Structure 1
Amino acid sequence: MKAGKLVWMSIIFAVLLGSFAIGPQQASACSCAFPGSVNEAKQNHDVVFDGTVKGKKAPVRLFTKSSADPVTWAFEVHEIWKGKVSPSIEVTSAQSSASCGFEFQEGMRYMVYARNSGDSLEVSLCSRTALYSAAGQDLAELGIGSVPPAPGPGHPAAASLWWVVWVGLAAILAAAAIIITVQRKKRRPTSM
């Protein structure tokens, strides 16, 4: 009887030890239906473009953080297939893929499908958004898009160009003032 008890205890110990070794499975809160065809994705989104990620703005929170917190991604746009898109544009997505957020990488080029929420353009893991290098089927089916319009007078790129012009002009005027001052000092007679 002692041998039977020892066998049962060994089995229970092995099962308990095995349950700790397996550990919990990682759960994901995001669940997406298949994004559908390229044409369906284009019809179901307000903006379709390809662009390179130039920056990221994440919310600063001290105490409560959520995977659903919005992150804003700035893009330099290369080509447009749908929507009014400027040469640079921002899209918003949840911070983590656990909340269906698309986690872009700065400096990488993407094919982006976004919806207009009224406040921003939103991208999710459930759209056809993908790395540009993996979007061959999309590019083939969409064909040639259009280039974004040149920046207008109110656009930040145009404003920075004017800033350069004004700084250059100020530098030329400062150099001219220095030259004139030096020339005047050379002409003045020195008193002994």
Structure 2
Amino acid sequence: MSRFRIKSLYMLLIFAVAIGLLATAPERAHACSCAMNADVKTSLENHNAVFEGTVTAKKEPTALFFSSSADPVTYTFKVNEVWKGKVAPSITVTSAWSSASCGFEFKEGSRYLVYARDNGKTLEVSLCSRTAAYSSASGDLAELGTGSTPPQPPYSPDSQGGFIWWIIAAAAALFAGAGAIAVYRRKSARRF
């Protein structure tokens, strides 16, 4: 092998190692530091949405090379009660992936009282808000009083519930038609 080829291979190896080191370099650590939580009234005023619901889905971020504790995780909630905001029966919020970056780590299937802010793209929940497990939020719930139920979406035949009614109606029509044909044949058979 020529000296030029050997040098080229060494340079290529050094370049590959350097790229590998850059791809696996640790990120700067961040620690969450929250000021004291505001009282319920102030928190209600300072957040865009306040609701109670159950986590039905969780979507974690996917990163090719770098990941951060601040990467957003998306949580979907089935909403039961609303105190503030335009909150649908099913809503998504985001929070940082880890509590190290002030992310609130929700558990699927668990119920929460959620205080969320609109960041322009989505509703965002922080560990520094009054968000809490429903079982730990009795003081907030008492102070908030009775909320409202989320508005139901308008009826649409294209919705899943509407689709089922269309199937039931079609089946009933088929049975009625089959019954009418059977009755007609019996009457026709008696004539002859």
- TM-score normalized with structure 2 length: 0.70
The alpha-carbon distance between structure 1 residues 173 and 118, as it changes in their structure 2 partners (threshold 3 A), is: same
Aligned to 1:129: 131
SS at match of 1:84: coil
Identity %: 58
1:107 has 2:114 as partner: no
SS at match of 1:86: coil
Alignment-mate amino acid for residue 66 of structure 2: T
1:159 has 2:159 as partner: yes
Alignment-mate amino acid for residue 42 of structure 1: L
- TM-score normalized with structure 1 length: 0.70
Q: What displacement does 1:118 show?
A: 1.3
Aligned to 1:150: 152
CA deviation map 1:132-154 (0-9, x unaligned): 11001101111111111122246
- d(CA) in 2 for partners of 1:72, 1:88: 13
- d(CA) in 1 for partners of 2:30, 2:105: 15
Q: What displacement does 1:175 show?
A: 7.9
Kindly tell me the number of residue pairs found equivalent between the two proteins. Answer: 157
Q: Which of residues 46, 53, 56 is equivalent to 1:54? A: 56
Are 2:155 and 2:162, in contact at CA under 8 Å, matched by a contact in 1? Answer: no
| Residue ranges of structure 2 left out of the alignment (5+ in a row) | 1-28, 180-192
- d(CA) in 2 for partners of 1:132, 1:147: 16
- d(CA) in 2 for partners of 1:164, 1:97: 43
CA RMSD of aligned residues (A): 2.7
1:90 has 2:92 as partner: yes
Q: What displacement does 1:46 show?
A: 0.7
SS at match of 1:62: coil
The alpha-carbon distance between structure 1 residues 170 and 96, as it changes in their structure 2 partners (threshold 3 A), is: farther
Q: What displacement does 1:174 show?
A: 7.8
- d(CA) in 2 for partners of 1:165, 1:72: 32
